[in-house]
Amino acid sequence: MRYIDIIKLSLNGLSQRGLRSWLTILGIVIGVAAVVAILSMGAATQQSVSSQLGGLGANVISITPGFSRAAGIPGFSERSPTTSKNLTYTDLQIIKSISGVQFVDGIISQRLDVSYFSESATITVEGVDPYAWNGITTSKLDSGRLLTSTDKDVVVIGYNVANTMFKKPLTLNTQLNIAGNQFTVVGILQQSGGAGFGDRGSDNMIIMPINSARSLMTDIVANQYSSIDVKVADRQSIDQVTADIESKLIISRHVTNTTMDFTVTSSQSVQQTISSVIGTLSLFLTGIAAISLLVGAIGIANTMFMSVMERTQEIGTLKALGTTNFEIVKMFVFESAMIGLIGGLIGIFLGFIASGTITELGIRLISTGRGSFGSSSIAVITPELVVFAIGFSLIIGILSGIFPARRAAKMQPIEALRYE
């Protein structure tokens, strides 16, 4: 029997069963759609994390007061210290002495009242060392310039500060009243679309020279810092520099591993940790979704068994005409493979629609638009995922049809022809 004849007989068998075939395909569609949606959303989330943590570069380390350790993720503490001392000028100098460190920026930060004409808003203001900040930040300018070491009473503002916080957009040379003092806008940053590493997204921030900031932030003691950012010269040595910073600060601050009052984290380590957690969660959810594929496989096997019974006389006729057992097997396996393939293709399409819809709804619920997550949160469609889904659904269809096909092939022609 020619292959084209086998294909025609298989497609004819599928069309004759009509509704039953589509119901069987539906079982595969649901399973594949669930798996594809979960894997797609997991990839989108990992891509979003990479975008969020890329705000300060992969070779940046952040030191913050207070101890926090939960797989390297800031903000999730295993224990909370009773006191949280700010970082000091001594800490800054010790970090500068460590081999492999390129830039060190001592930062002070506080939310201050900002006025523009008759409007007021409370905005996070950061005081930075202009030279170090320029070397560390990856923020791009939308207009104007960055800070210089000789600047005084000037600021660089984030995209949202310039465009959304006041009714009238802020432009270069705009005068802002910050905590009762006048400052001139000399630079506006491009939109980063994320919170940024260490929860210091530039979109909603005003950045000024640290000497100017100290005159406004009365809650921060002189020669103390809210945080310290470090840029490592060689990205490959970031783990070693992180360990050196932690060990030297433990000694200088007279603390131990159990009484640490500071946290050292890098965007790279946080990204790796979160990606690992997301990957594990996606794998777990995929396993749950795969159960529906098992149910779909059972549905295919059941449909094929029913097909064998209904087409017993047809099988007997084919065998009486000289059709071999292997050709009978191929006919029924092709039929079940087509069920798996059609279900897989529809499932992929619906899975991507579902992942995109769920992701978009999540963005709208968590934020008031896209300001917190950016476009990188849209569902990710990769060729590998498409190939995996098609291949997996096809294999499910083939395996589900093998046993019924073998049963059909073992039928004796005379008994099959007599079957009522």
Beta bridge partners of 105: 229
Rounded distance between C-alpha atoms, residue 393 and residue 290, angstroms = 11
CB 28, CB 397: distance < 8 Å: yes
| Residue 152: count of CB within 10 angstroms of its CB | 11
For residue 322, the tally of other CB atoms under 10 A from its CB is: 8
How would you write the pLDDT of the chain (420 residues) with one tens digit per residue?
Answer: 566 766 776 667 667 666 777 877 787 888 888 888 877 777 777 666 666 555 556 688 889 888 765 444 444 444 444 345 689 999 999 999 999 999 999 999 999 999 998 899 999 999 999 999 999 888 889 999 999 999 999 999 999 999 989 989 999 999 999 999 999 999 999 887 654 443 356 788 999 999 999 999 888 888 899 999 999 988 788 889 989 999 999 999 888 888 888 888 876 676 667 677 777 777 777 777 677 777 777 877 777 777 666 666 666 777 777 777 777 777 778 878 888 888 888 888 888 888 777 766 765 655 444 444 444 445 667 787 788 888 888 888 888 778 777 777 777 766 655 554
User: Is the Cβ–Cβ distance between 118 and 159 less than 8 Å?
Assistant: no
CA distances in angstroms from 125 to 5, 107, 112, 158, 161, listed in the order given: 76, 10, 7, 10, 11
The Cα 191–Cα 209 span in angstroms is 21
Name the pTM for this structure.
0.60
Q: Which residue has the tokens 């591993």?
A: 257
Q: Which residues of 83-106 are buried (b: 16+ CB within 10 A; e: fewer)?
A: eeebbbeebbebbeebebbebbbb
